[in-house]
Copies of this chain bind each other. A is one copy, B any other.
Amino acid sequence: MAKQATRYFSIHPWAIVEDSYDPQRNRVAESVFSLANEFMGVRGYFEEGTSAPSLRGNYFNGIYEYSPEQSGGYLGVVRRTHYMVNSVDFFATELKVDGVNFDQATAKVSDYSRVLDMKTGVLRRTLVWHLADKRVRLSFERFLDMEYPNRAYQRVDICSDKAADVELIFKTDFNVRHWGQPTSWQQVATDRKNAGIVCKTKTTSQPVAGVSHVSANSKGRWYLSFGDKVACNTLRVRLEENFDFVAERLVVNTADKTAGDPNRVLNFACEELKRQIAEGYEDARKRNAEYWKQFWQNSDIQIDGDEANQQGIRFCIFQLQQTYHGAFPTDNIGAKGLTGEAYSGHAFWDTETYCLPYYLFNNPAAAKSLLSFRYNTLEQAKQRARELDCVGACYPIATLNGQEACTLWQHASLQIQPTTGVAYGIAHYVNVCRDRQFLVDCGAEMLVEICRFLVSRGQWDSTGKYFGYYAVMGPDEFQMMVNHNTYTNYMAKQTFCYTLNVIRSLSSAELDSLTAKTGLTRAELNEFERCARSMLILYDDKTKLFEQHRGYFELPHIDVDSIPVEQFPLYSHWSYDRIYRNDMIKQPDVLMFMFLYSSEFTVEQKRANYEFYEPRCIHESSLSPSVHSVLASELGLDDQALKFFDFATRLDLDDYNCNTDEGLHLTSIAAAWMNIVYGFGGLRSDGELLSLSPALPSCWKRLCFKLNYCGSRLEVELTRHRLKIYSTGKVKLVVYGKEVEVCNEFTTER
């Protein structure tokens, strides 16, 4: 795996620490120090701006613009994409001392430290600024409210060793850029009392309001002014020497995704600001620290004996919780979360295949909410199927609002895994969370529409004997347009089978209701059954190998280790078509369905396919290593498992892919959780019972993780020779292949 770590942040079990500052790493640090609370996200940019390379980003989940519609083009090809747009800059602050602007990239600075405290969710930067005649101690602190998602908090501390003139301007500024281009926010209202600005997006007319309240512990000249799409709260103060000056800004941002009344949005912001002021900065910070404390009690993973991975996995869990915890049914998990503009804020099939497990076992309501997002966008998926000359529901490869946002036809028209991924997600959720009612209310309807799509997109081979998918791109995006991709065929077959099982399990009243909703006929069910039965699965029982697609085994072989590391990522160094002409794979494809349906395959099958496909994989997708790590772990390949895991947990902290500057790889971060719990924890959740076969890597002393399961909280603690499972309730599990009932504590020596 041609990936190299760039260690920049210090190792700490509960914090991300930058103790010396490199302007060239500024954008990477901005990504890593991102804060979010699902509703909004803010990159870790310096409040006061910088002359260093910077991506100053503030994003709201589901606030987006449409790109201009392209004319012409082929049918079924998306002509108009949409993207999460950079929004109000609510931490913008100008800082002058004695008339000099502070710019950390060029100023003389000592005693520098920036710390993201994952125990409290607070980001704090402290430093001493050396001016010609004085030293000024500065501290910048910020956090977002995890319970009242509209609220944000900022504090600036200033202390000078000599009297000094300080000017602070707290701005609420919609004059932001997106991918380096000016945004098209249109101002629609202001509020003089609360330094409020309301702007709306151009193409979607979504209003966003920003209001704020500034207070300080020193009197000075205060005034409020408004410019074009900006409100400025200016404070000029003469500081006495060694006086600990403190200014706090309480911020409320509100938004309406449905293009509603801007004044309503503003009014709500003003009301919320009143409540925020009433609580005050300190109490809010304490309350949020308590929130995080509770959170970690439920969701922490402890690794003894590996500080780097301990920090890494906590960072993953922290960022995952920040990005999404099921607060709003219209939210999903963008590939970069709320930490950057790359991938346009889009959610991919990663949601159901890589992110869902974390929520299944930490926050089942959030897991349900993710699936509800798909239910709520069923109409868009049906529309998409029609655009592709199909019927039923085709889920988008990339979306914010349910519409397909990917303008590359080779992905949007050829990748069926988002659709089978939704079906898998439903099955996985229902299996783990035992939420039959979701099936009855939403799931069965989605499954029927998905199967309809799968029938209409699939085709019978020339003999009429085998069914399968032609001109598809499986998860391995290095094989662009192939026939009978086994992942696609296998997932479709499982989808048909599961759907038929679900329908069989419905009561007649439930079936009547489903029929009324979908117009489902007996003939269709027969067709689902026939397609499932005739699905071509390319498998050789002698070698135990699945062929990735028809003809894959004949492809020219390439020794991936012979590719010079400078040639990665290949998209930036190889001619486009060259990538697709050999047996190199980008990410797991056969191994992916063997992971998803783990219980369907023997260890021998997994070993044969792992040994064949792993050496051909270059892991150009950041999602790839985690699945390999899980399988390596199951196959007892500890070194490989750990190597892949290092990458998964520390992908962004160590900038393995050299693109963390664009934002965090949020769905890879989710995969890191899956990696440790399914890998070293040996969890399997696709069978009837939960199964655990933990195996501690040789260099670790202890691994402890928690699972919310069937109303109980399980705590799994693994040491060198002992596995302990604590449970708050009575739970049936399969542990190391044996069915056990855990109540309170279960211990087994190894």
Q: Which residues of A contact B (CB under 8 A)?
A: 74-77, 387-390, 409, 413-414, 459-463, 470-471, 480-481, 483, 550-551, 553-557, 571-578, 580-583
Contact = CB atoms under 8 A, between A and B. Distances in A.
A557 B388 CA distance: 19
A567 to B, nearest CB: 10
Contact of A555 (B389, B470, B554, B556): B470
Given A389-B574, A409-B576, A575-B413, A462 B76 contact: no
13 contacts: A75-B574, A75-B575, A76-B576, A388-B575, A413-B577, A460-B556, A461-B555, A461-B556, A462-B556, A463-B554, A470-B556, A471-B580, A471-B581
Contacts of A554: 461-463, 483, 550
Contacts of A390: 575
Contacts of A582: 459, 470
B388 A583 contact: no
A459 B556 contact: yes
Nearest to A481: B481
Given A471-B580, A481-B580, A462 B74 contact: no
Given A462-B557, A551-B551, 17 more contacts: A74-B571, A74-B576, A75-B575, A76-B575, A77-B576, A387-B575, A388-B575, A389-B578, A413-B575, A459-B581, A460-B556, A462-B583, A470-B582, A471-B480, A480-B481, A550-B551, A550-B554
A468 to B, nearest CB: 9
Nearest to A572: B75
A553 to B, nearest CB: 6
Given A470-B581, A551-B551, A582-B470, A75 B573 contact: yes
Contacts of A76: 575-578
Interface SS of A by simple majority: loop
Contacts of A573: 75
A79 to B, nearest CB: 12
Contact of A577 (B414, B550, B572, B576): B414
Nearest to A550: B551
Given A481-B481, A550-B554, A577 B409 contact: yes
Contacts of A389: 574-575, 578
A383 to B, nearest CB: 13
A485 to B, nearest CB: 13
Nearest to A571: B74
A553 B551 CA distance: 13
Nearest to A389: B575
Contacts of A574: 75, 389
Contacts of A553: 462
A388 B556 CA distance: 18
A543 to B, nearest CB: 14
Nearest to A480: B481
Instruction: Return the 7 tightest CB-CB contacts between A and B, nearest first.
Output: A76-B575, A74-B576, A459-B556, A470-B581, A413-B577, A389-B575, A481-B481
A550 B553 CA distance: 13
A472 to B, nearest CB: 9
Contacts of A572: 75
A557 B470 CA distance: 12
A580 B574 CA distance: 26
Nearest to A557: B462
A298 B460 CA distance: 55
Contacts of A461: 554-556
A550 B556 CA distance: 14
A71 B268 CA distance: 42
A553 B463 CA distance: 9
A387 B575 CA distance: 7
A481 B483 CA distance: 11
B388 A578 contact: yes
B471 A577 contact: yes
A742 to B, nearest CB: 49
Contacts of A388: 575, 577-578
Contacts of A75: 571-576
A409 B461 CA distance: 28
A583 B483 CA distance: 13
A75 B583 CA distance: 20
Contacts of A556: 459-462, 470
Contacts of A483: 551, 554-555
A85 B610 CA distance: 56
A317 B653 CA distance: 70
A143 to B, nearest CB: 36
Contacts of A571: 74-75
A470 B389 CA distance: 29
A708 to B, nearest CB: 41
Contacts of A413: 575-577
A595 B316 CA distance: 62
A409 B576 CA distance: 8
